[in-house]
Structure 1
Amino acid sequence: MSEPKKVKKTIREINDRISKGKAVVLTAREMIDAVKSMGKVKAAREVDVVTTGTFSPMCSSGLLFNIGQPEPPLIKASKVWLNDVPAYGGLAAADAFLGATEPAEDDPLNKVFPGRFKYGGGHVIEDLLRGKKVRLRATGYGTDCYPRKTLEREYTLGDFRSADLLNPRNAYQNYNCAVNFGEKVIYTYMGPLKPRCANANYATSGALSPLFNDPFFRTIGLGTKIFLGGGTGWVIGAGTQHNPKPQRTERGLPLTPSGTLMVKGDLKGMQARYLRGISFLGYGCSLNVGLGIPIPILDEEMAWFTGVSDADIMVPVVDYGHDYPNGVARNHGHVSYAELRSGTIRVNDRDTATVPLTSYTLSLEIAQTLKQWIEKGTFTLGEPQEPIFSE
């Protein structure tokens, strides 16, 4: 008997099926059972797209915006603030970039507890999406063509000439499980960590997470179309700190923080449900970002990758009390994402409560929403124009 013909599809063929309403779309959670029950070859024949999702703190995020020139005389805005949160204004006359983690200069919490912040760039982004007015303040040094030196007025999101969510590093492919072996509480970007390993904080949506479903970036690159903040976004390349050659499991999954994505999208088409400003006690501000990527099932290998389960994913345990501040980030063994989701893991011969920073419920909602968009034919796949390097 001859061997069964291997499955081979193209993104163009899958998009044609989407436009005709014939594409078979599963969420990453549904694909686990599909691969188990059918095997990877049959699953690859039957399924066209697998949708993923994550809703998690993503500190390396921000807003690239243009204030226009609302009233004469014109201004070359060299310093800009939104609700007293400083933005970077060194981008020509009317462009600026607001970082999600930048705190307000007059933050009320910081006045009471120095070094602690309640409101920052991420909250400004959420306020704009909720239709609130934000106070813009800008100063310039004055030139012949831009004589104005100060500008202060209120803006809604629609008042900006353009407003793009531009995130240098999102969707980390694996991340640390943070613990504290020290003798006092420490306040970190992974949240407060109690002494003597009393809690273990982690941030990933596991088998739903986009880059666990395409660990070698076979289908994700420049031009990949994604769900971003409740609207449409795009991958524009590898994110900062992208590590293309991590240590991997036999299944190809990284054992340490590895791949990252740089993404962008029009903020005016997004929703506050999927972009929320947050503040970590004792650390500072950030932004929860909702991000989902459709994975085209081009062959049985992609079916196998998207059949990944929580038990397959191993997360490194890192001591933020001793190792991390010194730049070591040495891991103290690995635990599976299934163990993390159970609520308790075993660290140094003791049971430790686990605390998720990622919302699994909203991550699944993103994957399901993206699935619905594709099934309705309102969302097609973007074909990568340049690959993201991976071993």
Structure 2
Amino acid sequence: MGYWKDLPASADHLRLFNPAKGWVEFADQVDGDGKTTSFGANRDIDLALSIAMNASNLMVLTGAGASFCARNTAQNALTAPGMGDLWDAVKTAATDDTFQEVIKLIPKAKDIGKNIEKLLTQCKIYVELFDNAQSAKITNFIGTAEKAISKRVSFVNKDTDLKAHGTIIRKIARRGVRKPRAKFFTTNYDLCFEYAARTQRFSIIDGFSHSMPQIYDRGHFSHDIVRRENAKEGPDYIENVFHLYKLHGSIDWKRSGADIVRTEGSETPLLIFPRDSKYQEAFEPPYLDMMGAFQSSLREPDTALIVSGFGFNDDHLSKPVMAALEANMSLKLIVCDVAFLRDDVLEKGDHTIAGESAVREHISDYFERFKHLARIGDQRITLLSGRFEDLALAIPDLVAQTERERHLDRMQAARGFGDGVQS
């Protein structure tokens, strides 16, 4: 990501795909006198996002790309890993000799680059096909790899900069209480949304109980949080609550007997590890509950789905989106990703880039499918070139801050002053 590397987050980095013009820059183009010579896409982007925000049912889908903006400033601190980082982590944990031995045993392993998903997929196939001393070595390697991946994706802590996640949560989850709660779906194992919600003082409904230890039960997704006051007869639904569905598991999930409990620091978290079998694993409990919620939500009337940082490489998620586009005429889809345009094209700095410009290499063909649908007139689809953090700044803030929120902000700002106690 040469073009995007170290580029500060800004809505100005977004580009809108206009079938008639191409990829139009967010800001207006002005001359030396400050006169507008060409209108940007900011108005159309704001309109599309506003319509999505006002939908009866609002969904957000994120993948690994959404975590890259999470920052740890401490020296040698971990950052959100890509496939290459996971490859390196596994290689280090397994030792170089063992790693090279595994590579020699797996056919075509030298041709997959640093794609840990393909390597683990082929390792799993090898174990299923052969029952010998070599397969035992591969089995041990898989166990080592899974532990290394679990450790590497655990990079979020209380000091992690999660501004983009906090902004997204604040703007999207602060919906009118008369509407269904916003639903966040993510394939990420990390705790970006959880920590950002805690900082923002938002409440999460994620299928876990509020007792200790927290135990997962699908029935908890039908629960809600209300405020009861003596002066009121009925319950008052509180603001700032959203649903969170971890489609591939979470580093703080652990199986304990027949239960799934939340506990940080587990060496064996409940995850769907990167390999082709994740399609089958996604339809086993508890992931089946998450997938069921995802598919049923897509078919609800007046639904908007905002996708960012998700590469559409998981067919068990990509295919339901395409099926919903076909079956649900009221579905609105907004896809924001850096995959739409190559770095060398963006570096030219043109206000409008030709719509036929090539997408990045080695990406899912779903991006071209979405472009084709938009090009032939499907106005339900809005395509944006940009990052998760750029999108967060572009989303309109439709709901004003409540007096209760302002009070909490004031109290939080006041902590640590006067009594010498730091919260």
TM-score by length of structure 2 reads 0.23
Structure having the larger proportion of residues in helix: 2
